[in-house]
Amino acid sequence: MIYIFLAFLVLIMIKKKNQLLSAKRNLILFLILSCIGLSMGFIYELNPNMPTIAQTLINYMK
Amino acid sequence: MNKELSLRQISYIYVFISLSSIVRQIPSALAAEAGRSAYISPLWSIVAIVPLTFIVVGLIKLFPGLNLYEIMLQVFGTLLTKIMILAYLLWFILLLATKINIYTQTLQFTLMPQTRNNFFLITLIFLVAHVLQRGLKTVFRFSEFTLGIILFAFIIIFICSINKIREDYLLPVSTFYLVDTARAAVNVVAVGGNIIIALFFSDKLGISTTKMQRGRLWISVGIFLFLTFFTTLSTIGINGASLTAILPFPFYNTVKGISFFDIFERFEVVVTLISMLSDFIAICILFIIIIRCFEWLFNLKEKGLLYGPLIIIVFYLTYYISSTQFEFEFLYRNVIIYLNIVFQYFIPMLIVLFSLFQINKIKKQY
Protein backbone atom coordinates (compact mmCIF):
# COMPACT_ATOMS: atom_id res chain seq x y z
CA MET A 1 0.00 0.00 0.00
CA ILE A 2 2.83 2.35 0.88
CA TYR A 3 4.23 2.13 -2.65
CA ILE A 4 0.85 2.97 -4.13
CA PHE A 5 0.69 6.04 -1.89
CA LEU A 6 4.24 6.98 -2.86
CA ALA A 7 3.34 6.78 -6.53
CA PHE A 8 0.16 8.76 -5.79
CA LEU A 9 2.20 11.56 -4.21
CA VAL A 10 4.67 11.65 -7.09
CA LEU A 11 1.73 11.86 -9.48
CA ILE A 12 0.27 14.81 -7.55
CA MET A 13 3.68 16.51 -7.56
CA ILE A 14 3.99 16.16 -11.32
CA LYS A 15 0.39 17.14 -12.01
CA LYS A 16 0.34 20.16 -9.70
CA LYS A 17 3.95 21.24 -10.18
CA ASN A 18 3.06 24.84 -10.95
CA GLN A 19 0.82 25.27 -7.91
CA LEU A 20 3.40 23.65 -5.64
CA LEU A 21 6.19 25.88 -6.88
CA SER A 22 4.08 29.06 -6.95
CA ALA A 23 4.53 29.58 -3.21
CA LYS A 24 7.25 28.23 -0.95
CA ARG A 25 4.84 27.41 1.85
CA ASN A 26 2.73 25.21 -0.46
CA LEU A 27 5.76 23.08 -1.29
CA ILE A 28 7.08 22.93 2.29
CA LEU A 29 3.68 22.00 3.74
CA PHE A 30 3.10 19.39 1.04
CA LEU A 31 6.52 17.83 1.67
CA ILE A 32 6.18 17.86 5.46
CA LEU A 33 2.73 16.26 5.39
CA SER A 34 3.87 13.71 2.79
CA CYS A 35 6.89 12.81 4.94
CA ILE A 36 4.68 12.38 8.04
CA GLY A 37 2.22 10.19 6.10
CA LEU A 38 4.90 8.06 4.47
CA SER A 39 6.87 7.56 7.70
CA MET A 40 3.67 6.49 9.45
CA GLY A 41 3.17 4.07 6.57
CA PHE A 42 6.73 2.66 6.71
CA ILE A 43 6.53 2.17 10.49
CA TYR A 44 3.21 0.38 10.10
CA GLU A 45 4.51 -1.82 7.26
CA LEU A 46 7.56 -2.76 9.34
CA ASN A 47 5.52 -3.72 12.37
CA PRO A 48 1.81 -4.12 11.62
CA ASN A 49 1.14 -5.71 15.01
CA MET A 50 2.39 -2.84 17.12
CA PRO A 51 0.06 -1.82 19.97
CA THR A 52 -2.51 0.78 19.02
CA ILE A 53 -3.03 4.07 20.89
CA ALA A 54 -6.18 2.61 22.49
CA GLN A 55 -4.29 -0.53 23.60
CA THR A 56 -1.54 1.58 25.15
CA LEU A 57 -4.13 3.68 26.99
CA ILE A 58 -5.94 0.58 28.23
CA ASN A 59 -2.67 -0.83 29.64
CA TYR A 60 -1.75 2.53 31.14
CA MET A 61 -5.11 3.19 32.76
CA LYS A 62 -5.61 -0.30 34.21
CA MET B 1 -20.56 38.41 -0.43
CA ASN B 2 -21.36 35.15 -2.20
CA LYS B 3 -23.91 33.12 -0.26
CA GLU B 4 -22.78 29.55 -0.84
CA LEU B 5 -24.67 27.82 1.95
CA SER B 6 -27.77 28.38 4.04
CA LEU B 7 -28.33 27.81 7.74
CA ARG B 8 -30.97 25.27 6.78
CA GLN B 9 -28.33 23.18 5.00
CA ILE B 10 -26.01 23.45 7.99
CA SER B 11 -28.85 22.40 10.31
CA TYR B 12 -29.54 19.36 8.15
CA ILE B 13 -25.90 18.39 8.07
CA TYR B 14 -25.71 18.70 11.87
CA VAL B 15 -28.55 16.20 12.31
CA PHE B 16 -27.19 14.01 9.53
CA ILE B 17 -23.67 13.60 10.92
CA SER B 18 -25.03 13.00 14.41
CA LEU B 19 -27.21 10.08 13.26
CA SER B 20 -24.52 7.41 13.35
CA SER B 21 -23.52 8.29 16.92
CA ILE B 22 -27.20 8.40 17.96
CA VAL B 23 -27.86 4.85 16.76
CA ARG B 24 -24.46 3.32 17.53
CA GLN B 25 -22.71 4.85 20.54
CA ILE B 26 -25.26 6.74 22.62
CA PRO B 27 -27.68 3.91 23.60
CA SER B 28 -24.94 1.54 24.78
CA ALA B 29 -22.94 4.26 26.54
CA LEU B 30 -26.03 5.55 28.36
CA ALA B 31 -27.18 2.06 29.31
CA ALA B 32 -23.73 1.22 30.68
CA GLU B 33 -23.62 4.30 32.87
CA ALA B 34 -27.24 4.86 33.89
CA GLY B 35 -28.93 1.46 33.53
CA ARG B 36 -32.68 1.33 32.98
CA SER B 37 -33.11 5.07 33.63
CA ALA B 38 -30.70 5.93 30.80
CA TYR B 39 -33.43 7.31 28.53
CA ILE B 40 -33.68 10.32 30.88
CA SER B 41 -30.10 11.38 30.06
CA PRO B 42 -31.00 13.07 26.73
CA LEU B 43 -33.26 15.38 28.73
CA TRP B 44 -30.34 16.37 30.98
CA SER B 45 -28.23 17.15 27.94
CA ILE B 46 -30.57 20.08 27.16
CA VAL B 47 -28.79 21.93 29.97
CA ALA B 48 -25.58 22.00 27.89
CA ILE B 49 -26.79 21.84 24.29
CA VAL B 50 -29.26 24.73 24.54
CA PRO B 51 -26.69 27.24 25.91
CA LEU B 52 -24.23 26.10 23.21
CA THR B 53 -26.85 26.75 20.53
CA PHE B 54 -27.41 30.19 22.07
CA ILE B 55 -23.65 30.78 21.79
CA VAL B 56 -23.48 29.63 18.16
CA VAL B 57 -26.56 31.64 17.13
CA GLY B 58 -25.29 34.65 19.11
CA LEU B 59 -21.85 34.53 17.46
CA ILE B 60 -23.38 34.27 13.98
CA LYS B 61 -25.53 37.29 14.80
CA LEU B 62 -22.74 39.31 16.45
CA PHE B 63 -20.12 38.59 13.76
CA PRO B 64 -22.11 38.53 10.50
CA GLY B 65 -20.27 36.99 7.56
CA LEU B 66 -17.30 35.78 9.62
CA ASN B 67 -16.19 32.22 10.30
CA LEU B 68 -14.74 30.79 13.51
CA TYR B 69 -11.17 31.74 12.54
CA GLU B 70 -12.08 35.33 11.72
CA ILE B 71 -14.13 35.62 14.92
CA MET B 72 -11.20 34.27 16.94
CA LEU B 73 -8.83 36.74 15.25
CA GLN B 74 -11.05 39.59 16.39
CA VAL B 75 -11.38 38.26 19.91
CA PHE B 76 -8.05 36.62 20.77
CA GLY B 77 -5.51 38.09 18.36
CA THR B 78 -3.33 36.24 15.85
CA LEU B 79 -1.05 34.10 18.02
CA LEU B 80 -3.68 32.60 20.31
CA THR B 81 -6.00 32.05 17.36
CA LYS B 82 -3.35 30.14 15.41
CA ILE B 83 -2.62 27.95 18.45
CA MET B 84 -6.32 27.21 18.89
CA ILE B 85 -6.82 26.46 15.20
CA LEU B 86 -3.85 24.06 15.36
CA ALA B 87 -5.49 22.35 18.33
CA TYR B 88 -8.78 22.17 16.41
CA LEU B 89 -6.91 20.74 13.43
CA LEU B 90 -5.35 17.94 15.49
CA TRP B 91 -8.68 17.19 17.14
CA PHE B 92 -10.43 16.97 13.77
CA ILE B 93 -7.73 14.65 12.39
CA LEU B 94 -8.21 12.38 15.42
CA LEU B 95 -12.01 12.52 14.98
CA LEU B 96 -11.68 11.71 11.29
CA ALA B 97 -9.46 8.70 11.96
CA THR B 98 -11.85 7.37 14.63
CA LYS B 99 -14.84 7.96 12.37
CA ILE B 100 -13.22 5.97 9.55
CA ASN B 101 -12.25 3.29 12.06
CA ILE B 102 -15.79 2.81 13.33
CA TYR B 103 -17.16 3.05 9.77
CA THR B 104 -15.11 0.06 8.66
CA GLN B 105 -15.83 -1.86 11.86
CA THR B 106 -19.58 -1.33 11.50
CA LEU B 107 -19.47 -2.56 7.90
CA GLN B 108 -17.55 -5.64 9.02
CA PHE B 109 -19.87 -6.27 11.94
CA THR B 110 -23.15 -5.87 10.06
CA LEU B 111 -22.77 -6.65 6.38
CA MET B 112 -19.37 -8.03 5.38
CA PRO B 113 -17.63 -9.89 8.23
CA GLN B 114 -15.18 -11.69 5.90
CA THR B 115 -13.88 -8.54 4.18
CA ARG B 116 -10.62 -6.91 5.28
CA ASN B 117 -10.42 -3.34 6.60
CA ASN B 118 -8.15 -2.34 3.72
CA PHE B 119 -10.91 -2.86 1.19
CA PHE B 120 -13.35 -0.57 3.02
CA LEU B 121 -10.71 2.09 3.55
CA ILE B 122 -9.62 2.23 -0.08
CA THR B 123 -13.22 2.23 -1.35
CA LEU B 124 -14.02 5.00 1.11
CA ILE B 125 -11.04 7.09 -0.01
CA PHE B 126 -12.15 6.88 -3.64
CA LEU B 127 -15.75 7.77 -2.76
CA VAL B 128 -14.73 10.72 -0.57
CA ALA B 129 -12.28 11.98 -3.20
CA HIS B 130 -15.02 11.76 -5.84
CA VAL B 131 -17.50 13.68 -3.68
CA LEU B 132 -15.00 16.35 -2.62
CA GLN B 133 -14.08 16.98 -6.25
CA ARG B 134 -17.69 18.11 -6.77
CA GLY B 135 -17.32 20.69 -4.01
CA LEU B 136 -18.80 21.66 -0.69
CA LYS B 137 -22.33 22.14 -1.98
CA THR B 138 -22.69 18.51 -3.10
CA VAL B 139 -22.20 17.24 0.44
CA PHE B 140 -24.69 19.70 1.90
CA ARG B 141 -27.24 19.12 -0.88
CA PHE B 142 -27.02 15.36 -0.40
CA SER B 143 -27.96 15.63 3.26
CA GLU B 144 -30.71 18.11 2.38
CA PHE B 145 -32.32 15.63 0.00
CA THR B 146 -31.97 12.49 2.08
CA LEU B 147 -32.58 13.66 5.65
CA GLY B 148 -36.38 13.85 5.21
CA ILE B 149 -36.57 10.22 4.08
CA ILE B 150 -34.30 9.12 6.92
CA LEU B 151 -36.39 10.94 9.54
CA PHE B 152 -39.51 9.31 8.07
CA ALA B 153 -37.83 5.89 8.40
CA PHE B 154 -36.99 6.68 12.03
CA ILE B 155 -40.60 7.66 12.80
CA ILE B 156 -41.84 4.37 11.30
CA ILE B 157 -39.26 2.44 13.33
CA PHE B 158 -40.30 4.23 16.54
CA ILE B 159 -44.01 3.64 15.88
CA CYS B 160 -43.43 -0.03 15.10
CA SER B 161 -41.30 -0.49 18.20
CA ILE B 162 -44.01 0.75 20.61
CA ASN B 163 -45.72 -2.62 21.05
CA LYS B 164 -42.36 -4.37 21.58
CA ILE B 165 -41.23 -2.11 24.43
CA ARG B 166 -41.29 -3.83 27.82
CA GLU B 167 -42.40 -1.62 30.65
CA ASP B 168 -40.35 -3.53 33.24
CA TYR B 169 -37.17 -2.67 31.28
CA LEU B 170 -37.87 1.05 31.68
CA LEU B 171 -39.71 1.42 34.98
CA PRO B 172 -39.54 2.20 37.84
CA VAL B 173 -37.19 5.17 37.63
CA SER B 174 -35.56 5.73 40.99
CA THR B 175 -34.33 9.15 42.16
CA PHE B 176 -31.27 7.24 43.35
CA TYR B 177 -30.17 6.87 39.70
CA LEU B 178 -30.84 10.46 38.70
CA VAL B 179 -27.23 11.44 39.39
CA ASP B 180 -26.07 8.63 37.11
CA THR B 181 -28.41 9.77 34.34
CA ALA B 182 -27.06 13.32 34.64
CA ARG B 183 -23.47 12.05 34.55
CA ALA B 184 -24.21 9.82 31.54
CA ALA B 185 -25.66 12.81 29.67
CA VAL B 186 -22.08 13.74 28.77
CA ASN B 187 -22.33 11.09 26.02
CA VAL B 188 -25.24 12.97 24.43
CA VAL B 189 -23.67 16.37 25.05
CA ALA B 190 -20.48 15.31 23.22
CA VAL B 191 -22.46 14.47 20.10
CA GLY B 192 -24.90 17.39 20.35
CA GLY B 193 -21.95 19.77 20.39
CA ASN B 194 -21.49 19.09 16.65
CA ILE B 195 -23.63 22.22 16.22
CA ILE B 196 -20.37 24.22 16.28
CA ILE B 197 -19.72 23.17 12.68
CA ALA B 198 -22.06 26.07 11.86
CA LEU B 199 -19.25 28.41 12.93
CA PHE B 200 -16.77 26.78 10.55
CA PHE B 201 -19.04 27.60 7.60
CA SER B 202 -20.62 30.82 8.84
CA ASP B 203 -18.65 32.90 6.32
CA LYS B 204 -20.55 31.09 3.55
CA LEU B 205 -23.92 32.28 4.87
CA GLY B 206 -23.75 35.79 3.50
CA ILE B 207 -23.63 39.02 5.46
CA SER B 208 -27.01 38.85 7.13
CA THR B 209 -29.07 36.00 8.48
CA THR B 210 -32.71 36.37 9.49
CA LYS B 211 -34.26 35.28 12.78
CA MET B 212 -36.14 32.56 10.93
CA GLN B 213 -32.94 31.21 9.38
CA ARG B 214 -31.24 31.11 12.77
CA GLY B 215 -34.36 29.38 14.12
CA ARG B 216 -33.49 26.42 11.87
CA LEU B 217 -30.55 25.64 14.13
CA TRP B 218 -32.96 25.39 17.06
CA ILE B 219 -35.19 23.05 15.09
CA SER B 220 -32.21 20.82 14.29
CA VAL B 221 -31.26 20.71 17.98
CA GLY B 222 -34.86 19.73 18.75
CA ILE B 223 -34.71 16.94 16.15
CA PHE B 224 -31.39 15.75 17.58
CA LEU B 225 -32.82 15.55 21.12
CA PHE B 226 -36.00 13.86 19.89
CA LEU B 227 -34.03 11.20 18.00
CA THR B 228 -31.64 10.61 20.89
CA PHE B 229 -34.47 10.25 23.40
CA PHE B 230 -36.58 7.86 21.33
CA THR B 231 -33.62 5.79 20.11
CA THR B 232 -32.45 5.24 23.69
CA LEU B 233 -35.99 4.61 24.91
CA SER B 234 -36.77 1.99 22.26
CA THR B 235 -33.36 0.32 22.51
CA ILE B 236 -33.47 -0.07 26.28
CA GLY B 237 -37.20 -0.82 26.23
CA ILE B 238 -36.75 -3.72 23.81
CA ASN B 239 -33.29 -5.11 24.66
CA GLY B 240 -33.06 -4.21 28.34
CA ALA B 241 -30.32 -2.03 29.84
CA SER B 242 -27.84 -4.83 30.61
CA LEU B 243 -27.89 -6.21 27.05
CA THR B 244 -27.83 -2.72 25.49
CA ALA B 245 -24.72 -1.88 27.50
CA ILE B 246 -22.68 -4.73 26.05
CA LEU B 247 -23.91 -4.84 22.46
CA PRO B 248 -21.63 -3.14 19.90
CA PHE B 249 -24.58 -1.82 17.84
CA PRO B 250 -27.66 -2.13 20.07
CA PHE B 251 -30.11 -0.20 17.89
CA TYR B 252 -29.35 -2.65 15.06
CA ASN B 253 -30.48 -5.51 17.31
CA THR B 254 -33.54 -3.51 18.40
CA VAL B 255 -34.70 -2.99 14.87
CA LYS B 256 -34.11 -6.67 13.96
CA GLY B 257 -37.26 -7.68 15.80
CA ILE B 258 -39.49 -4.98 14.36
CA SER B 259 -41.87 -5.40 11.44
CA PHE B 260 -44.19 -2.87 9.80
CA PHE B 261 -47.71 -4.41 9.96
CA ASP B 262 -46.06 -7.70 8.84
CA ILE B 263 -45.51 -6.11 5.42
CA PHE B 264 -41.91 -4.88 5.76
CA GLU B 265 -39.28 -6.65 7.82
CA ARG B 266 -35.51 -6.54 8.23
CA PHE B 267 -35.35 -2.82 8.94
CA GLU B 268 -31.88 -3.36 10.37
CA VAL B 269 -30.41 -3.06 6.88
CA VAL B 270 -31.96 0.42 6.72
CA VAL B 271 -30.34 1.30 10.05
CA THR B 272 -26.95 0.12 8.79
CA LEU B 273 -27.44 2.14 5.62
CA ILE B 274 -28.38 5.27 7.59
CA SER B 275 -25.36 4.80 9.82
CA MET B 276 -23.07 4.34 6.81
CA LEU B 277 -24.43 7.41 5.02
CA SER B 278 -24.10 9.49 8.17
CA ASP B 279 -20.50 8.37 8.68
CA PHE B 280 -19.69 9.00 5.04
CA ILE B 281 -21.04 12.55 5.14
CA ALA B 282 -19.30 13.16 8.48
CA ILE B 283 -16.00 12.00 6.93
CA CYS B 284 -16.48 14.34 3.96
CA ILE B 285 -17.32 17.29 6.25
CA LEU B 286 -14.32 16.56 8.49
CA PHE B 287 -12.03 16.49 5.44
CA ILE B 288 -13.40 19.86 4.34
CA ILE B 289 -13.01 21.38 7.83
CA ILE B 290 -9.44 20.03 8.17
CA ILE B 291 -8.47 21.60 4.86
CA ARG B 292 -10.11 24.89 5.99
CA CYS B 293 -8.05 24.73 9.21
CA PHE B 294 -4.88 24.29 7.12
CA GLU B 295 -5.89 27.25 4.96
CA TRP B 296 -6.43 29.44 8.04
CA LEU B 297 -3.31 28.25 9.80
CA PHE B 298 -0.89 28.76 6.92
CA ASN B 299 -2.79 31.40 4.89
CA LEU B 300 -2.94 29.01 1.95
CA LYS B 301 -4.43 29.93 -1.38
CA GLU B 302 -4.22 26.45 -2.95
CA LYS B 303 -6.18 24.00 -0.84
CA GLY B 304 -6.47 21.05 -3.24
CA LEU B 305 -2.79 20.14 -2.82
CA LEU B 306 -3.13 18.85 0.70
CA TYR B 307 -5.81 16.19 0.15
CA GLY B 308 -3.21 13.66 -1.06
CA PRO B 309 -0.82 13.74 1.93
CA LEU B 310 -3.76 14.09 4.32
CA ILE B 311 -5.37 10.91 2.99
CA ILE B 312 -2.14 8.99 3.67
CA ILE B 313 -1.85 10.34 7.23
CA VAL B 314 -5.48 9.54 8.03
CA PHE B 315 -5.26 6.09 6.39
CA TYR B 316 -2.40 4.99 8.63
CA LEU B 317 -3.69 6.86 11.70
CA THR B 318 -6.80 4.68 11.45
CA TYR B 319 -4.60 1.63 12.09
CA TYR B 320 -2.67 3.37 14.87
CA ILE B 321 -5.85 4.39 16.74
CA SER B 322 -7.60 1.11 17.45
CA SER B 323 -7.97 -2.31 15.93
CA THR B 324 -11.10 -3.70 17.61
CA GLN B 325 -14.54 -2.50 18.61
CA PHE B 326 -13.62 -2.90 22.28
CA GLU B 327 -10.57 -0.63 21.89
CA PHE B 328 -12.61 1.91 19.98
CA GLU B 329 -15.29 2.01 22.70
CA PHE B 330 -12.61 2.52 25.33
CA LEU B 331 -10.98 5.35 23.40
CA TYR B 332 -14.32 6.97 22.63
CA ARG B 333 -15.61 6.89 26.21
CA ASN B 334 -12.36 7.89 27.89
CA VAL B 335 -10.73 10.31 25.47
CA ILE B 336 -12.87 11.45 22.53
CA ILE B 337 -15.90 12.47 24.61
CA TYR B 338 -13.84 14.74 26.87
CA LEU B 339 -11.92 16.24 23.95
CA ASN B 340 -15.28 16.93 22.28
CA ILE B 341 -16.47 18.78 25.37
CA VAL B 342 -13.33 20.97 25.38
CA PHE B 343 -13.47 21.87 21.69
CA GLN B 344 -17.24 22.07 21.31
CA TYR B 345 -18.14 23.84 24.55
CA PHE B 346 -15.14 25.26 26.36
CA ILE B 347 -13.53 27.20 23.48
CA PRO B 348 -16.82 28.73 22.16
CA MET B 349 -17.57 29.76 25.76
CA LEU B 350 -14.15 31.43 25.94
CA ILE B 351 -14.88 33.28 22.70
CA VAL B 352 -18.17 34.57 24.10
CA LEU B 353 -16.52 35.62 27.38
CA PHE B 354 -13.73 37.49 25.60
CA SER B 355 -16.12 39.10 23.12
CA LEU B 356 -18.25 40.36 26.02
CA PHE B 357 -15.24 42.39 27.18
CA GLN B 358 -14.98 43.97 23.73
CA ILE B 359 -18.67 44.17 22.92
CA ASN B 360 -18.71 47.94 22.26
CA LYS B 361 -15.73 47.74 19.91
CA ILE B 362 -17.27 44.81 18.02
CA LYS B 363 -20.69 46.46 17.68
CA LYS B 364 -19.09 49.58 16.21
CA GLN B 365 -17.59 47.51 13.38
CA TYR B 366 -20.89 45.98 12.22
Residues A3-62: tens digit of each pLDDT: 888 888 888 888 888 887 888 888 888 899 999 999 999 999 888 888 888 888 888 877
pLDDT recorded at residue B260: 66
Looking at this predicted complex, what is its ipTM? 0.94
Over residues B302-345, the pLDDT tens digits come to: 777 888 888 899 989 988 988 888 888 888 888 999 999 999 99
Say whether residue A36 is in contact with chain B using an 8 A CB cutoff: yes
Mean pLDDT of the region B30-46? 87
Give which of B305, B311, B318, B332 to mutate to test A binding, by max A Cβ within 10 Å: B305
Confidence of residue B264 (pLDDT cuts 50, 70, 90): low
Residue B14 has pLDDT above 80, yes or no: yes
Highest-confidence segment of B228-232, B259-263, B325-329: B228-232
Task: Output the 3-class SS for chain B.
Answer: CCCCCCHHHHHHHHHHHHHHHHHHCHHHHHHHHHHHHHHHHHHHCHHHHHHHHHHHHHHHHHCCCCCHHHHHHHHHCHHHHHHHHHHHHHHHHHHHHHHHHHHHHHHHHHCCCCCCHHHHHHHHHHHHHHHHHHCHHHHHHHHHHHHHHHHHHHHHHHHHHHHHCCHHHHCCCCHHHHHHHHHHCHHHHHHHHHHHHHHHCHHHCCCCCCHHHHHHHHHHHHHHHHHHHHHHHHHHHHHCHHHHHHCCCHHHHHHHCCCECCCECCCHHHHHHHHHHHHHHHHHHHHHHHHHHHHHHHCCCCCHHHHHHHHHHHHHHHHHHCCCHHHHHHHHHHHHHHHHHHHHHHHHHHHHHHHHHCHHHHHHHC
Mean pLDDT of the region B31-51? 88
Confidence of residue B86 (pLDDT cuts 50, 70, 90): very high
Computed over every residue of chain B, the mean pLDDT equals 85
Mean pLDDT of the region B184-195? 91
Residues 300 through 319 of chain B touching chain A, CB cutoff 8 Å: 300-302, 304-306, 308-313, 315-317, 319
Give which of B287, B290, B307, B316 to mutate to test A binding, by max A Cβ within 10 Å: B316
pLDDT recorded at residue B290: 92
Mean pLDDT of the region B59-85? 89
pLDDT recorded at residue A18: 82
Residue B177 has pLDDT above 90, yes or no: no
Say whether residue B118 is in contact with chain A using an 8 A CB cutoff: yes
Q: B300 and A52 in contact by Cβ < 8 A?
A: no
Residue B2 has pLDDT above 70, yes or no: no
What are the CB-based long-range contacts (under 8 Å, 24+) for B353-361?
B354/B75, B354/B76, B355/B59, B355/B62, B355/B71, B355/B74, B355/B75, B358/B74, B358/B75
Distances in Å between the Cα of B343 and the Cα atoms of A44, B29, B92, B321 are 30, 21, 10, 20
Confidence of residue B265 (pLDDT cuts 50, 70, 90): low
Q: Which of B93, B88, B86, B18 is nearest to B347 (CA)?
A: B88
Mean pLDDT of the region B6-34? 89
Confidence of residue B262 (pLDDT cuts 50, 70, 90): low
Candidate CATH numbers 1.20.1740.10, 1.10.260.40, 3.40.50.2300, 3.20.10.10; the one for domain B7-285: 1.20.1740.10
Q: A57 and B331 in contact by Cβ < 8 A?
A: yes
Over residues B108-150, the pLDDT tens digits come to: 777 777 777 777 778 888 888 888 877 788 888 888 888 889 9
Between residues B265 and B123, which one has the greater pLDDT?
Answer: B123
From the list B301, B311, B334, the residue facing A57 with the nearest CB is B334
Q: A16 and B305 in contact by Cβ < 8 A?
A: yes
Nearest CA in chain B to A57: B331
Residue B101 has pLDDT above 90, yes or no: no
Prediction pTM value: 0.90
- Omega into B172 within 30° of 0, i.e. cis? yes
